[in-house]
Chain A
């Protein structure tokens, strides 16, 4: 049984290591904090592995552990947690879906401005955005956080509207 657990654990990490790494990179600006969080997520995966009964997909389960660990990560107070967007993030346009918005910005200026605005989001909104950037569907995001799909859609829509207003220089009551 112990050998099976070890093998399962290693297989899980081999298949999902990149996912976990990206989540760690979203929340930690430096490599040492990323490593600490990565290790903490691995520990929580190990401790929760015996209780996983396949009620959700493996990826959903891994995302849950990663997000829940990030929310309780002792290395940072949640208020100061920064959402890190990296140059290789290709799906940022999912956050800028208004055709009328002038989006002809240089990639570096776009990323910097977007990152600034993303860091003003609340912790839960940051968690939602990080999952959206991972390419999860609204239903999958709902499965991770524990919300209904319509609820997730409303929250994501509000976040996008807030981001759009901020990028347009309009005042936003959210902030």
Chain B
């Protein structure tokens, strides 16, 4: 069906619907693939640790690996939910509600983000364990300290890059939504 009404823009509706359905299918696939990739991998790793564990290996090696795996699973679900939130913007709500949701969505810092501290801490400890070799107390301590410095500096750089990206791409959208809300309420 094509909207060939001389007053309406010419849009091939069937083609558009086809593309929209493909996009819906891709979004669903992406969402499911996160689940189907992470859970079996995590379970497989757990099975390997239990049944193939070499008892001569220090305990902290597989423990570190498990913690890293768990942190990756948590990250994957967090980003899948963020992706879904952005995809499911409902333009059918009243304008004031759409704008209020946009302001919340494009906030730099959101309280639920604190939840990410859990996988971050798991990853920090896990990677530290995984790379550790208890050859001596002073070496261990130096290794842990060195690892923490590398980890936190990398984290700080990551946060800085994320903040700059937010400032350039999302802050203008948030500011615009705030200005529109202010105007509506004036």
A binding-site residues for B, Cβ under 8 Å: 2, 6, 9-10, 13, 17-18, 21, 24, 31, 34-35, 38-39, 42-48, 51-52, 61, 64-65, 67-69, 71-72, 78, 122-124, 127, 143-147
> How far is A122 from B176 in the complex, measured between Cα atoms in Å?
13
Cβ of B61 to closest chain A Cβ, rounded Å? 47
Residues of A within 8 A of B107 (CB): none
User: Any chain A CB within 8 A of the CB of B104?
Assistant: no
If A127-B95, A145-B94 are given as contacts, then 19 extra A-B residue pairs at C-beta distance below 8 Å, sorted by A number, are: A10-B1, A17-B3, A21-B7, A34-B9, A35-B9, A38-B8, A39-B16, A43-B20, A44-B91, A47-B87, A48-B90, A48-B91, A48-B92, A52-B92, A64-B93, A71-B95, A78-B180, A123-B183, A146-B184
Contact with A along B73-89 (1 / 0, CB 8 A): 00000000000000111
- Complex-state Cα separation, A10 to B3, whole angstroms: 10
Docked CA distance A157–B102 (Å): 29
Name the residue of chain A whose CB is nearest to the CB of B27.
A47
CB within 8 Å of A: which residues of B?
Answer: 1, 3, 5, 7-11, 13, 16-17, 20-21, 87-99, 102, 176, 180, 183-184
B91 touches A65 (CB 8 A): yes
- Contact of A51 with B9 at beta-carbon distance under 8 Å, contacts A9-B17, A67-B95, A145-B96 already known: no
Given contacts A35-B10, A35-B11, contact A68 B98 (CB under 8 A): yes
Contact across chains for A146 and B96 when beta carbons are under 8 A apart = yes
Bound-state Cα–Cα, A43 to B21, Å: 11
The residues of A that contact B91 with a CB separation of less than 8 Å are 44-45, 47-48, 64-65, 68-69
The 26 listed contacts between A and B (C-beta, < 8 Å) are A2-B21, A13-B13, A18-B5, A24-B9, A35-B10, A42-B16, A43-B16, A46-B20, A47-B87, A47-B91, A48-B90, A51-B90, A64-B94, A67-B95, A68-B93, A69-B91, A71-B180, A123-B180, A124-B180, A124-B184, A144-B95, A145-B94, A146-B93, A146-B95, A146-B184, A147-B184
- Chain A residues whose CB sits within 8 angstroms of the CB of B92 once the complex forms: 48, 51-52, 61, 64-65
User: For A17, A34, A43, A146, which residue has the most chain B Cβ atoms within 10 angstroms?
Assistant: A146
Measured CB to CB, the closest approach of chain A to B103, in angstroms, equals 13
Q: Determine whether the beta carbon of B11 is less than 8 Å from that of A39.
A: yes
A-side contacts of B89, CB under 8 Å: 47
Shortest Cβ distance from B100 into chain A, in angstroms?
9
B7 proximity list for chain A (CB < 8 A): 18, 21
Bound-complex Cα distance A45 to B13 (A): 13
Residue of B3, B17, B93, B95 near A46 (CB, 8 A) is: B17
| Assembled-state Cα–Cα distance A44/B98 (Å) | 13
What residues on A are CB-neighbors of B13 within 8 Å?
Answer: 10, 13, 42
Provide the residues of chain B in CB contact with A9, threshold 8 Å: 17
Interface contact B9-A21, CB-CB below 8 Å:
yes
Known contacts: A64-B95, A68-B98. The answer to whether A124 contacts B11 by CB under 8 A is: no
Verify A78–B8 contact, CB threshold 8 A: no
